[in-house]
Amino acid sequence: MKILVIGAGFVGSAAAERLKELGHDVTVTATSEEKVARLKERFGKAVVLRGSDAETVNSAVAGMDAVVVTAGPSAANSMTPEERAVTYREILVKTAENVVAAAGPETKLVSLSSLSVYGDAANHLDVIDEDSPVTESSDPSPANFLLMEAAYGRAGDRAVVLRCGDIFGEGDPPIGEKVAMAHKYLGGSVPFSGEALLYRLQVNDAADAVVHAIENDLSGVYNLTHPELPPRNAELFDRLSAEQGLPPLVYRNEIASPAKPISVDKLSATGFKAARSFTY
């Protein structure tokens, strides 16, 4: 298959490597000539592309059998709701709209979304699955992930959306270090809920899920995380704070998150398990 991977960063590069190993003809993208030059050394085929540029997307997608979209907003440009409103709209929604418009009638589409789309809307349930209510929050993060999902949904059975937990991997600071940084730089006050469950996804599990979706011709929406029940934010973070001689964090509960178990039964039924991700 001829496969385009839009966003050859953390997940995209790992997925592209696996797809090449399987014999697929893979082209990756980045947003600058400098990055593309490095990617060409690694993958052979790489092009400069911004998902919000319809003309460039149309050219890159033409003739592809599958398009994988792993491009995500930069954390550095997403610190405030105002920044997220711009960044998430451009990188998530515009990319989705342009890819769907450019793709041929047989082109397979795979994209990464977020478990944040549930917010706290399904916390009244015992288990949260793909049919559970999603948030009506006006925060630009879940709001734009949902708009992105709706755009891919218009492609019908050709599209698959993987709702992921927080992605981590080599080079990512350990959780204990992140807790210390929250005390140092945020005054020990964080915007999320202490009761939320801390679902995380190891980068290689994310990449393998992308490959699995293509190889098995999946369609629709799937929760992508580990099946084991994780600790709650306060349970883990306050223990890590205490181990470092720091006080408990203050949880402002501004960003709503799922506090009930996330079901991965739908994806498991296709033969996939995120086996590397349960590390706390």
Mean pLDDT of 272-277: 95
Mean pLDDT of 203-216: 97
Mean pLDDT of 238-250: 97
CA distance 278 to 280: 7
* Consecutive H or E run containing 114: strand 108-114
**At residue 41, does pLDDT exceed 70?**
yes
- Strand residues in 7-69 grouped as ranges (E): 25-30, 46-48, 66-69
Helix, strand, coil percentages (3-state) for the chain, rounded to 5, are 40, 20, 40
CA distance 5 to 198: 28
Instruction: Give per-residue pLDDT as tens, 46-79.
Output: 998 988 899 999 999 999 999 999 988 766 665 6
Instruction: Give the pLDDT of residue 275.
Output: 92
Name 122's Cβ contacts closer than 8 Å, sequence gap at least 6. Answer: 128, 132, 133, 134, 258, 260
Q: Check if the beta carbon of residue 168 is closer than 8 Å to that of residue 202.
A: yes
Residue with token string 């342009």: 98
Confidence of residue 32 (pLDDT cuts 50, 70, 90): confident
Residue 249, phi then psi, degrees to nearest 5: -70, 160
Q: Check if the beta carbon of residue 8 is closer than 8 Å to that of residue 30.
A: yes
Q: Check if the beta carbon of residue 275 is closer than 8 Å to that of residue 205.
A: yes
pTM for this predicted structure: 0.93
Q: Check if the beta carbon of residue 78 is closer than 8 Å to that of residue 72.
A: no
Instruction: Give the pLDDT of residue 197.
Output: 97
Confidence of residue 191 (pLDDT cuts 50, 70, 90): confident
Instruction: Give the pLDDT of residue 69.
Output: 97
Instruction: Give the pLDDT of residue 79.
Output: 62
- Angle, helices 33-43 vs 10-21, to 10°: value is 30
Instruction: Give the pLDDT of residue 76.
Output: 61
- Between the alpha carbon of residue 223 and those of residues 38, 71, 80, the distances in Å are 33, 18, 27
Which residues are paired to 27 by β-bridges? 4
Instruction: Give the pLDDT of residue 47.
Output: 92
Tell me the two tokens of residue 264: 């991965």
Give me the CATH code for the 2-171+199-229+260-268 domain, please. Answer: 3.40.50.720
Mean pLDDT of 105-119: 96
Instruction: Give the pLDDT of residue 75.
Output: 65
Give SS3 for 87.
Answer: helix
**At residue 234, does pLDDT exceed 90?**
yes
CA distance 216 to 36: 30
Which residues are paired to 222 by β-bridges? 162
- Between the alpha carbon of residue 33 and those of residues 29, 36, 46, the distances in Å are 10, 5, 10
Q: To the nearest whole number, what is the mean pLDDT of the chain?
A: 93
Instruction: Give per-residue pLDDT as tens, 124-174.
Output: 999 999 999 999 988 888 999 999 999 999 999 999 999 998 999 988 889
Compare 40 and 242 and report the one with higher pLDDT. Answer: 242
Residue 114: Cβ within 10 Å count: 22
CA distance 51 to 45: 18
Mean pLDDT of 215-220: 97
**HSE (CB half, 13 Å, CA atoms) of 140?**
18
